[in-house]
A and B are shown apart, each in its own frame.
Chain A
Amino acid sequence: MNTERFRARLTGACRGAALLLLTLVALASLLPLYWMATGSLKLQQNAMSVPPEWFPQHPTFQNYQKLLFGSKPVLRWFLNSVVTASAIAATAVFTSTMAGYAFGKKRFPGRSVLFGLIVVTMILPREVTLVPLLVLMRQLGWVDSYLALVAPFICYPFGIFLVRQFMQAVPNDLLDAASLDGAGEWATFARVVLPLARPAIAAVGIFAFVSGWNEYLWQLMLLNREEMLTLPVGVSKLVSSLTSFDMGVAMAGATFAFLPMLIVYLAFQDYFVRGITIGAVKG
């Protein structure tokens, strides 16, 4: 009896210690974001103080003033990122919903081959396509344009995969009932499939928006003109690995680029979880 109680207490204590450790690790994981946000309120001499200021002693918005109304068109970069990520999300939703529905619910010759291509593309490194894409964009005269920022992401393999997984779980009776009622393919899609697939569609839109916002390499390669830069590409030039830079302004830039992502995350937390779990390969 006594040993059992002792054992229960011991496992209880172990669990408690583990949870404490977990909480510490979680706080450490958030620390860089805290450091960025508070750093954006520090002037250079405070940012460089040793020992560091855990709470900004003299918080100021000067860095944001310098950032937004300085020599760089930061508000334009913000606008560019909003336009790019929104357009990527919209086109990804459009193409993924239709293609995912076809792959999930229709039988047609070549289905497994085409779907296999889509799955393989999720694994293949995009780096192989980057140089030819850039050449293609030059030929089309699309360098430094929104079109070129969006075009490579119109087909969003992960989104197609996600909608297809979701559609496969939808019972056929629902769709058959609609077509028995005499509804055409398009009407069935618009009136039955779209409302049913709403959670998957939302997840595709959110993932596409976030990945469009954070798509760095392609934007970095493609963009030359300063007013066409996206926010992440633009603000990343505020830091330098070789020379010293204004930490406060850099952190203001980073915070500014992070805020839209924070809002998206807080507003759509559940969709992230659902999208990730639907999107993982099952069996």
Chain B
Amino acid sequence: MSTTRRFREARAAYLFLAPAMLAYAVFQLYPLAQGLWLSLFQAGLTPERTFVGLRNFERLAVDERFRRALINTAFLVGGLVPLALTLSLGIALLVQPLAKRAQAFFRLAFYLPGVAGGVVLAMVWLWILNPTYGLLNSLLGAFGVRPVAWLGTTEWALPSLGMVVLTWILGQPIILFVAGLDSIPPELPEAARLDGAGPWALFRRVTLPMLRPTLLFVLVTQTIGAMQVFVVVHVMTRGGPANATQTIVYRIYETAFDFYEYGYASAMAVVLLALIAVVAVVQFRLLGQEIEH
């Protein structure tokens, strides 16, 4: 009786899963396996492939442009992740006590750019950052700052792209932090206040520990997002000037679609996969443990 019931339940479950898992197997898992496999070949537009073992990876190790892309991506991660975390947490702390209406306005202000999408915003920023008739230089000019060629100089191009990306990634973390703050039981801060805790102690001892799971989630998703910056590079700089804005994903794109080196591009993608896996595991280990304390 119970075995037939269990069997029936399992059969129903598999039927419910079938459409998703079928599509998953064909269009996600199979290409993933192919991608890993392809990194061991020299392959291009034509169907023939030559097995080259780890030669693609050896080539990557001495590829000057890929090294730049790695450094640039690390710069973006190192800049964007701390900025996104502190800004979104700070904004959430200010927004959370406000009335519903005011919250809706600030949510719109910070979340809408993310919905607008990278292409649309990159197009606008290309104009805003124009050295001669861009809005930014003219605003800064009012304070006596000389015009800067934001995208045209090697020292400014990458930070400029980072700033542009920063303008559309804050919405989701803000919403998550506000929800996290909402879920802190009011007794906790009250008790801490009665114990004589000041605002800073309250934040350190009560608010931050309660937000740990949210912090972990935001940290991991933002890091992974920053490792995959592409749209701004493609629309605004094409990796230039002088490779100053090359990123890993842009290298993959160029290698595969401008140079048709499918095997080599796959090797780059495998490196990205490995980097993301390592970063995610390390972050989960470090903060996951602290959550249990």
Contacts and interface: CB of A to CB of B under 8 A. Distances in A.
A127 B17 contact: no
A235 B109 contact: no
Contacts of A174: none
Contacts of B125: 32
A232 B117 contact: yes
A78 to B, nearest CB: 14
A47 to B, nearest CB: 7
B34 to A, nearest CB: 3
Contact of B120 (A152, A154, A217, A257): A257
B192 interface: no
A22 B87 CA distance: 11
Contacts of A238: 123
Nearest to B87: A25
Contact of B151 (A214, A241, A251): A241
A91 B118 CA distance: 24
A121 B238 contact: no
Interface string A85-116: 00000010011101101110011110100100
Given A106-B13, A114-B21, A32 B167 contact: yes
7 contacts: A35-B128, A98-B19, A107-B13, A210-B115, A257-B120, A261-B116, A280-B176
A132 B12 contact: no
B214 A241 contact: no
Interface size class of B (residues with CB under 8 A): 35 or more
B91 interface: yes
Nearest to A154: B23
A22 B35 CA distance: 45
B125 to A, nearest CB: 6
A259 to B, nearest CB: 10
Contacts of A32: 113, 121, 124-125, 128, 167
A117 B17 CA distance: 13
Interface of A: 18-19, 22, 25-27, 29-30, 32-33, 35-36, 39, 47-52, 91, 94-96, 98-99, 101-103, 106-109, 111, 114, 117-118, 121, 123-125, 127-133, 135-136, 151-152, 154-155, 160, 185, 189, 210, 213-214, 216-217, 220-221, 232-233, 235-236, 238-239, 241-242, 247, 250-251, 253-254, 257-258, 261-262, 264-265, 269, 272-273, 276-277, 280-283
A258 B120 contact: yes
Interface of chain A, main secondary structure: helix
B32 to A, nearest CB: 5
Interface string B265-292: 1100110110011001000000000000
A246 B213 CA distance: 47
B31 A185 contact: no
A217 B151 CA distance: 22
Contacts of A136: 27, 30-31, 34
Given A135-B262, A261-B117, A155 B91 contact: no
Nearest to A96: B20
Nearest to B233: A241
B21 A269 contact: no
B89 interface: no
A32 B163 CA distance: 13
A48 B134 CA distance: 8
A108 B14 contact: yes
Interface in B1-28: 6, 8-10, 12-17, 19-21, 23-24, 26-28
B128 A273 contact: no
A236 B235 contact: yes
A123 B278 CA distance: 11
Contact of B95 (A22, A39, A48, A220): A22
B17 A128 contact: no
Contacts of B202: none
A127 B269 contact: yes
A123 B220 CA distance: 9
Given A102-B13, A108-B9, A152-B27, A254 B123 contact: yes
B23 to A, nearest CB: 4
A154 B22 CA distance: 9
Nearest to B135: A52
Given A233-B119, A269-B108, A276-B176, 20 more contacts: A22-B91, A26-B109, A29-B109, A32-B113, A35-B128, A99-B21, A106-B13, A123-B280, A125-B227, A127-B228, A131-B38, A132-B31, A151-B26, A185-B12, A236-B123, A250-B123, A257-B120, A272-B111, A276-B179, A281-B217
A82 B268 CA distance: 33
Contacts of B210: none
B133 A52 contact: yes
B27 A133 contact: yes
A257 B119 contact: yes
Contacts of A235: 119, 123
A91 B22 CA distance: 13
Nearest to A118: B24
Contacts of B231: 216-217
B153 interface: no
Contact of A281 (B6, B213, B253, B277): B213
